[in-house]
Amino acid sequence: MQFKPVVPISFFDPEVEFGEGTLNGRVALTGGFAFGMLVRTGITRTLSLETGISQIRRNYEWELVNDTSGFQAKDRIRYIGYEIPVNLLVYIRLGERTFMNAALGASVDMYPSDAVRAVELGRAFWYRNGWVQAGAVGNMGVEYRTDKSGIIYLGATYHRAFGDMAISQLTYYSRELVPYAIQRGISGSYLTVDLRYFFHEDPDRTRVRRQRRKRGGDQ
């Protein structure tokens, strides 16, 4: 199981400003979280393959200003997606039960629907740039392995989307209800702090016997 709070950091461009004529807009990532399930399988003593599925909820603040009419609106909007990553992990042993790992892989990102948020004389409408997209994933963390109680993990993940996740369209309606809209692409890249728990699994007895026989033959 995993839970990953989204961390908005200016280095990763969480805020976008755009405008046209008298209309100016701003969209800023304010946080969010991802949660889901992972499955890890060992390849060697230092390499593992990891995959799973998770839901990601990104929270944004949007603002729209019309300099001529004095209109100004600010509100929040949530955008939901799903991810299926496939990562290759490399382990470094730090202690008897403590390991550091680094992972690199790819992710299939899916967006099931658009999002809309309306205020008086204004609206934010986000339409997906495609229901499925690709992304790259980089991860680093530390885990503690117990005898019978599973694995506890703390780390961080950077998810880099290939292309814009969605198009943010901000619309101002005049008193005559004439719409004036501006729009800009929104990246789906984000940084998270990762909290994970892997359930305990008894060793594969066949693999253990093979390893014992191999060690015995080497002596």
pTM of the model: 0.83
- Smallest CA-to-CA distance from 198 within 35, 33, 37, 4 is with 37
Domain ranges of the chain: 2-218
pLDDT tens for the 219 residues of the chain, in order: 999 999 987 766 678 899 888 899 999 999 999 999 999 998 998 999 999 999 999 999 999 999 888 899 999 999 999 999 999 999 999 998 999 999 999 999 999 999 999 999 999 999 998 899 999 999 999 999 998 889 999 999 999 999 899 999 999 998 888 899 999 999 889 999 999 999 987 765 555 455 555 555 554
Q: Which two tokens stand for residue 59?
A: 């929270």
* CATH architecture assignment, domain 2-218: Beta Barrel (2.40)
- Beta-bridged to residue 122, according to DSSP, are 119, 172
Beta-strand pair 122-128/164-173: antiparallel
Spatial CA neighbour of 56 closest among 117, 1, 16, 6:
6
SS3 206: helix
188 and 160 Cβ atoms separated by less than 8 Å: no
Count Cβ neighbours within 10 Å for each residue of 172-189 and write b for 16 or more, e otherwise.
Answer: bbeeeeeebebbbebbbb
Indicate the DSSP class of residue 10: G
The whole-angstrom separation of Cα 138 and Cα 194 is 12
